[in-house]
Amino acid sequence: MSESDQIEEEQVSDDDWAAAMGEQSAVESQAAAAVQPAAFEQFSGGDDKAAVAQGFDMILDIPVQLTVELGCTKIPIRNLLQLAHGSVVELDGMAGEPLDVLVNGTLIAQGEVVVVNDKFGIRLTDVITPAERMKKLHR
């Protein structure tokens, strides 16, 4: 087999491969457009408020971790091991500053401590809007 025949054979096989890949992607895109999973049909209804309410009902019982941060600090392990009953740890938060309320580690609000029936709680003073949370993600 001559060198020119071998090069021509390689070009044909590369062209055939490219054509096959083009056909495959065309078939896959047609199949994806034609088949929509039944699980997502309820979300494609547009303005149907009942479908939207049902979608929210699906997530209402999912547990999340709610955390209220008073402040934080970094200390060496040596000092950590010396802590005992009655020790005081200085935090970076100032007295009177709002506390951060986090859901699964994401800041959603700020508030102040309240005591109700000898139990601590937090009164929300500023709720972070979804638009503000999105701005913080893009920084």
Regarding whether 34 and 91 lie in a shared domain, the answer is no
Regarding whether 69 and 132 lie in a shared domain, the answer is yes
End-to-end CA distance of the chain: 61
The Cα–Cα gap between 20 and 91 comes to 64
The Cα–Cα gap between 25 and 18 comes to 11
Polymer length in residues for the chain: 139
Residue range(s) defining the domain that contains residue 74: 63-137
90 or 36: which carries more pLDDT confidence? 90
Q: What is the pLDDT of residue 130?
A: 84
Domain count across the chain: 2
> What is the pLDDT confidence band of residue 18, given thresholds at 50, 70 and 90?
low
Q: What is the pLDDT of residue 82?
A: 93
| Segment 26-85, tens digit of pLDDT | 656 665 555 555 555 555 555 566 666 677 788 888 999 999 988 889 999 999 999 999
Regarding whether 106 and 77 lie in a shared domain, the answer is yes
Regarding whether 44 and 86 lie in a shared domain, the answer is no
Q: What is the pLDDT of residue 77?
A: 95
Helix (H) or strand (E) run with residue 5 in it: helix 3-34
Regarding whether 67 and 51 lie in a shared domain, the answer is no
What CATH code is carried by the domain that includes residue 106?
Answer: 2.30.330.10
Global pTM?
0.51
Token digits for 106? 């994401």
Contact 65, 104 (CB under 8 A): yes
